[in-house]
A = this chain, B = another copy of it.
Amino acid sequence: MTTSRTYHHGDLRNTLIAEGLALLEEGGVSKMSLRAIAARAGVSHAAPKNHFANLRALYTAMAAEGYRRHVAFMRAGLPKRASRPAKLAAAMRGYVRFAQEHPHLFALMFSSDLCDLDDAELQTAGAESYGVLREISAGLDWDKADKPHADLRAETMIWSLVHGFAQLSNSGMLSTAPDGSALPALSVTDVVPAFKYRS
């Protein structure tokens, strides 16, 4: 947002996405509305119509931006020259750390209630995020590598594991036992099965 305001904003589309994400991080889904986001962007609540057909389209664009940040998070922690297992561990930790640091955004990215999950831009961004785990887990050799679809099973296992861990962690279910007592903090990598790579 520039200090010298003009009648025309200049970059309202991106500003709406950015302010929407900021509002989401602060207050969660329940605090988001077209009016609140427009107000934060310093614009009347009818202005977004020029850039997004409806609220759902704005949420979808926010989710796509979420995936881009998600990819960046995973890539940021990836050591350049390291063993593949070390890279996999880094990517898994990045996945979970993103979810933990941006719980509301993480939830938005998987919410069919709020986003159009079939949107092309969202699909593209999501595919790139998924691709990070996919690449690293290709050729991952574990107990059932002889069974069909070895690579698919490996990437599905890794993805389920990090995704479930992230969700449960965000629900507070990994830090407190059913009886209410505190649990020792586990990392997602404490919970990956043993494996090696075929190649």
Contacts and interface: CB of A to CB of B under 8 A. Distances in A.
Contact of A127 (B178, B193, B194): B178
A191 B30 contact: no
Given A130-B178, A178-B127, A160 B153 contact: no
Interface in A15-45: 28-30
Given A28-B113, A186-B156, A194 B164 contact: no
A50 B126 CA distance: 46
Nearest to A176: B123
A156 B143 CA distance: 19
Contact of A164 (B142, B161, B184, B192): B161
A30 B113 CA distance: 8
10 contacts: A110-B171, A130-B178, A148-B184, A149-B184, A152-B184, A153-B186, A157-B192, A160-B161, A160-B191, A163-B168
